[in-house]
Structures are given as structure tokens and as C-alpha cells.
Amino acid sequence: MQTHASSLSRRSFLSTALAAGAAFSAQAKDQAPLIAYVGTFTSPLQNMKATQVDLPPGNGQGIHLFEVNRETGAMTPCGLYKSGSSPNCLAFNATRTVLYSTNETDANGSHEAGTVSSFAINPKNGELTLMNTVSSGGKGPTYISLHPSGRFLLVANYFGGSCSVLPVKPDGTLGEATDFKQDTGTIGPRKATNAPPGSFAFSGHDGTHSHMIQADASGRYVLSVDLGLDQILVWKFDDQKGTLTPNDPPHVSFPPGDGPRHFAFHPNNHWLYSLQEEGSTVVLFDYDIEKGRLTSRQTISSLPPGFAGSNFCSEILVSADGRFVYVGNRLHDSIGIFAIGKDGTLTFVAEEWTHGDYPRSFNFDPTGEFFYSLNQRGDNVAIFRVNRKTGVLTFTGHYAAVGNPSSIVFLDLAEGK
């Protein structure tokens, strides 16, 4: 016969066991790795015919994997996918089960074009397995982004001065291009209109150079940047066929020679910030998401007041809360920090030394608490803590050694548990 006391004891035991199980499950989830993937510039591997095109060449070994300490932001090497084709830009598929990389080459076998690869991600440890590689359609693919539909990957070919659309198959692999566009027009001058005093900065005004491509939040329009043409091109996108047609108007122009490189949308989807590589400026545009039209409203230097000399801008990001813009300055080797006003206009807040040479790009960790600067010529990633109230960055003292790092993306394996 079961007594009341024994029944309570059993219920108490079961309750304790369930609570312990839940705690263990939560702890196991917290202990799942946060993985950082770092794309690099590499030298061709032995017997590889692809030709690497960027300088300085060769210090990276492929796609480097790191486990990220969630408390300190520090990175510990935990894997490597070796590649001699300069996998310099990385992006995930919609379910974050596949990683894509550009291969910034100008020749692949007998074809004068770069390639894009797809990799399956091991959900336990983040390791990569190559699934397939397809042509990017042009030389030196340098940027990829996933269309909001999840069914197309957009590619910018820097040295080819072109862009292409690659279909994403149900298994995450890539198909042959559904569309390809070659940029044409008048090349801007060697001297940027808004260059800092004494600047000798000259990079992409020797031809067409597509440097970035990304859809807006609606997916109805795709914006691509051509640095040599000093233009952002706007395309209507057919998400059934995967094709691009020129919008009306088909582009917005910048002051001659300034060289737009990258842009970033504000979370409200109505403001766009464009960073000019040679002009060292940030331009604020009002964006009409219904018509895909850009109207410029403010131009501000990416550099601190009083700067003189040469500088090449690189990356631009808007914080997830929409309060700050971060821009990369190469040669000056700084991150410019700008506050976003209620009307979208920018005000210079501070600059932070990158603790390395030539910051090619940067990114936040998934929480927004840490900021990672990829110092291409310094062969390291420098890690900063973010003050969410002021936007200011503070160096943590942590570095990760990586040869010629180019891009970094994060995958929280706890999300799959």
C-alpha cells in the first residue's frame, strides 16, 4: 500500500529530476560552440590552376574555423578547410546549414572567370565539406549575398566588372547562373572629388569594378556597386526566374573618382549609407523601398577632423539597434564611429585604432557585444568590446592570428540543438 508520504517523495524526486534534466539541457545548449569562419586570401595550392588576384597574396590557408569564447570574445583555432583559391567572402544559406564562399580568382582551368563554392556544415562541430563549385561568370568574385527568398545567391565580380545570379537548389548546392550583367559606362578619374588633402589614393578607376551586391529587404530590388563607374546600380529582381532588369532610374551617381565600395541599410529600410573607397566619405541616401530609388541627403568624411594624406575605405556596418554606423579606414587603420540622428544623419563620435594593418572588413558577433576587425596586411583579427550606449569600441587585448583575413561570419551551433 502506497502512503501519502511516499507519494510526495516520489513526486518530489520526479520534480527534482525534471528540473535537473532541464538545467542540464540548458547547460548543454550554452556549451554548444559559437563558431567563427574567416575567409582569407591564399596562394594557389600545388597543381591548382586557379590564379589568385589580390595583393598581398598567399598568407591565408583557406577558410579558418575558430571557437569563440562567449564571455571574452576570444577566438581559438578549431578547424581549417584548405583552399588555394582565395575564399575571401562568406555567406550562409537561409537555414544556416550551408556556407558559401567566393573564390577570388581570374582563371579556373581554361575559363577566364572565378568561382563560388558551397559547403555543408557539420551541426556538431561546424566542420565544412565541399558540396559543389560553379562559375561566377566573371573574374575575381569578391562579394556574395543571399536573396531574401533564400533561392538565389547574388555575386559581384570585381575584376570582371560584372554581377551574376546563382540559383540555390533545395539541397543548398548552387546551379549555373540564371542571369549575368556586364557593367558598362564612363570610368571615373584617378583623383577623387572628395579625397582628403594630400591624398594619392587610387584603386579602381582603371575599368569597371563591381564591388558589392545585395537585395533590399523586400527582395524586389537588387543594388550593385561599381567602383570604377562611381555608381550604385539598381535592378528589378524577378524572384521566379532569377533575373535582373534595370530600374527607372537605373543607377545613382557619385562625385567623380570617389569610388563607392560598400553600403549598408538601416534597420528601418528607409536609409542607406554608402562608403566611398577613394573619396573617404559616407553618403546618406533616403531609400524608397516601393520604387527602388535613392536620394542623397548628407555627405560626411569617414575620417576624423583634420586628417590629411592617403586613405582607402573598406567596410561599413550599421549596428543592429540602428544607433551607430561603423566604417573602416585603411592606411589610417581606424574604425570611424558615427551616431545616427533621428533623421538618419550622421555625427562623428570617435575613432578606434584597429590594432593591425589594413582593416579589410569587420563584423559583430551574434550578440552585438563584440566587434572583430580583420587586419588584412597585419595577418590578424583584433577583438573589441562594444559599448552599446555610446557606440565606442574598447580593445579586449585578444588577437587571432590569420593570414590575410578578408571576411568573418558567425554560426551559433546552440541554435540547432
Per-residue pLDDT reduced to its tens digit, 358-390 = 999 999 999 999 999 999 999 999 999 999 999
Q: What is the CATH number of the domain that holds 317?
A: 2.130.10.10
Mean pLDDT value across the chain? 91
Task: Establish if 153 belongs to a structural domain.
Answer: yes
At residue 61's C-alpha, the angle toward residues 129 and 366, to 5°, is 65
In a domain, 369, yes or no: yes
Q: Per DSSP, what are the bridge partners of residue 75? A: 68
Number of domains in the chain: 1
- Identify the pLDDT of residue 283: 98
- Taking the C-alpha atoms of residue 175 and residue 135, their distance in angstroms, rounded to an integer, is 9
**In angstroms, rounded to a whole number, what is the distance separating the alpha carbons of residues 92 and 145?**
8
Q: What cell does 380 get?
A: 590578424
Query: Is pLDDT of 5 > 80?
Result: no
DSSP characters over 83-148: -SS----EEE-TTSSEEEEEE-BS-BTTBSS-EEEEEEE-TTT--EEEEEEEE-SSS-EEEEEE-T
Domain of residue 246: give its range: 135-403
Q: What is the pLDDT of residues 93-146, one digit of tens each?
A: 999 999 999 998 776 655 678 999 999 999 999 999 999 999 999 999 999 999
Predicted pLDDT at 43: 82
180 vs 92: CA distance, rounded Å: 22
Q: What is residue 6's predicted lDDT score, i.e. its pLDDT? A: 45
pLDDT of residue 247: 98
| Rg, Å, the chain Cα set | 23
- Tell whether the model's pLDDT for residue 255 goes beyond 90: yes
Q: Is 20 a residue whose pLDDT tops 90?
A: no
pTM of the predicted model, to two decimals? Answer: 0.91
The answer to whether residue 85 is domain-embedded is no
Residue 171 falls inside a structural domain = yes
Question: Is 251 a member of any domain?
Answer: yes
CA 281 to CA 273: how far, in whole Å? 10
Q: Domain for residue 66, yes or no?
A: no
Is 246 within the bounds of a domain? yes
Rounded mean pLDDT, 170-175: 98
Distance CA 360, CA 405 (A): 8
Q: What pLDDT digit, counting tens, does each position of 30-43 carry?
A: 579 999 999 999 98
Run of H or E including 221: strand 221-226
The answer to whether residue 147 is domain-embedded is yes
Query: Quick one: pLDDT at residue 47?
Result: 44
The answer to whether residue 270 scores a pLDDT higher than 60 is yes
Residue-wise burial string across 365-378, b where 16 or more C-beta atoms lie within 10 A, e elsewhere: beeeebbbbbbbbb
